[in-house]
Structure 1
Amino acid sequence: MPFIEENDLLDLHKDIEKAQIINERLLDQIKFKGKDIKRLKLQRNVLMGLVGLFVLSILGITSYTAGWSNSKRLDNDQYILASIDSLDAVKARIDNLKEQNEELSLVKEFYLAKEFLEKEKIYSVQVKSFTDNNMTLASEALTNTLFVKTNPFYAYSLGNFETLNEAQKFRKQLVDMGFKDAFVASYKEGKRVKIEDPY
């Protein structure tokens, strides 16, 4: 079994706690953005309905006044005044909704990217295996750890990497810290695919 210095172990625990805090904050932000998305969709639909009614009423008033002006012939020096302020307010609200829609698109892209990564192959560095289900080492809130059943053992791995090269570099760091038995494995949909070349 590899020996790890107490300072290195404390540093690892601090890094894990920081990652857990960051993940919890991201989850809170995602929940908050989800509520915002629902609220903004409702606001957008209501506003579009109001804009539609406004446009229809303007068209109705315009057609009515055009018919009235034909029947009563206005002098050339009389003009019909329209409120430009109300049109500017509607334009400003539409611009604001467009900006909010762009923000919602970014959140949607984040969700799609997360779903895509869960279906793709990832690489992780296995540092320990157990015959018993020892879940005290892993937390579901930590996204950079894996605790997978590989019959008849339970494997504990650190890091989620998109490329084999990144995982190999991380493995080297762990070996330098004393985890001589650490190795790189690839995973897909929560199951180990194979043990990869360590170099």
Structure 2
Amino acid sequence: MPFIEENDLLDLHKDIEKSQIINERLLDQIKFKNKDLKKFKIQRNIFAGATVLFLAWIFGVTLYNVGVRTSNSNQNNILVSIDSLDAWKTRNDNLKMQNQELSLVKEFYLAKEFLEKETIYSVQVKSFVENNAALASEALTNTLFVKTNPFYAYSLGNFETLEEAQTFRKQLVNIGFSDAFVASYKDGKRVKIEAAN
């Protein structure tokens, strides 16, 4: 088995930790957007109710004016009403566009939540017969140290897709870990990889 310098391993772990920090920041942003989404939905519902009432009032005023005024006056009033209806239509279209954008944010959040419940992939670099807890340092947070009877497996990285894990494995092989291979885990237990290359 090739030897890797501790500095190189720590650099790898620092890169992995940076990725985790970025992921945590993205999750925080998603939570913040969710709060904004809830506030926006409440505001949108209030605005929609007020819009319906206002449009009903305009419709009633327009009907009243059509019935009371002469033909020429009626045409002018209808034109004014159509102008205000165009403004409301434009506003309504803008609200629909904002609603679509918020739906995309919600879909992204739901997709991320779904991925957290799915299988993760990691690159196993070593296994031991005895529990070698010295390798599982608290400073190396993006590592897995899993008991797979009768061995203890040491893996690097947590990836959502098999392709990402395979790319990382190739990088490890290039620096000397020729025995490294991709392993998959679900709920902390090793599972078979369905679509292996």
Category of TM-score, reference length = shorter chain: 0.7 to 0.9
Supply the AA of the counterpart residue of 1:97.
Answer: L
Aligned to 1:57: 57
The alignment's C-alpha RMSD in Å is: 3.5
Q: TM-score, normalised by structure 2?
A: 0.72
For structure 1, the 5+ residue unaligned runs are: none
Counterpart in 2 of 1:117? 115
In the TM superposition, residue 33 of structure 1 has moved relative to its aligned partner by 0.9
Q: 1:5 deviation in Å?
A: 3.5
Structure 2 counterpart of 1:41: 41
Is the contact between residue 122 and residue 187 of structure 1 (CA under 8 Å) also seen in structure 2?
yes
Between the two proteins, what is the percent identity of the paired residues? 65
For the 8 Å contact 2:127–2:154, the answer to whether it is kept is: yes
Misfit runs of 4+, over 6 Å: 195-199
Shift of the 195–101 alpha-carbon distance from structure 1 to 2, 3 Å rule, reads: closer
**Do residues 18 (structure 1) and 28 (structure 2) align?**
no
Tell me if the contact between 2:58 and 2:81 (Cα under 8 Å) persists in the aligned partners.
no
**Normalised by the size of structure 1, how large is the TM-score?**
0.72
**Partner residue, 1:185:** 183
Q: Is the 8 A contact 1:2 1:179 kept in 2?
A: yes
Where 2:177 maps in the other structure, the secondary structure is: coil
Unmatched 5+ stretches in structure 2 = none
State how many pairs are aligned: 189
Aligned-pair CA distance for 1:176? 2.8
Aligned-residue offset at 1:187? 1.9
**Which residue in 2 is equivalent to 1:136?**
138
Deviations 1:168-199 (CA, angstroms, capped at 9, x unpaired)? 44323213323344322122243211489997
> Which residue type is aligned with residue 160 of structure 1?
F
* Mean Cα deviation higher: 27-36 or 178-187: 178-187
Deviation at 1:54, TM superposition (A): 1.0
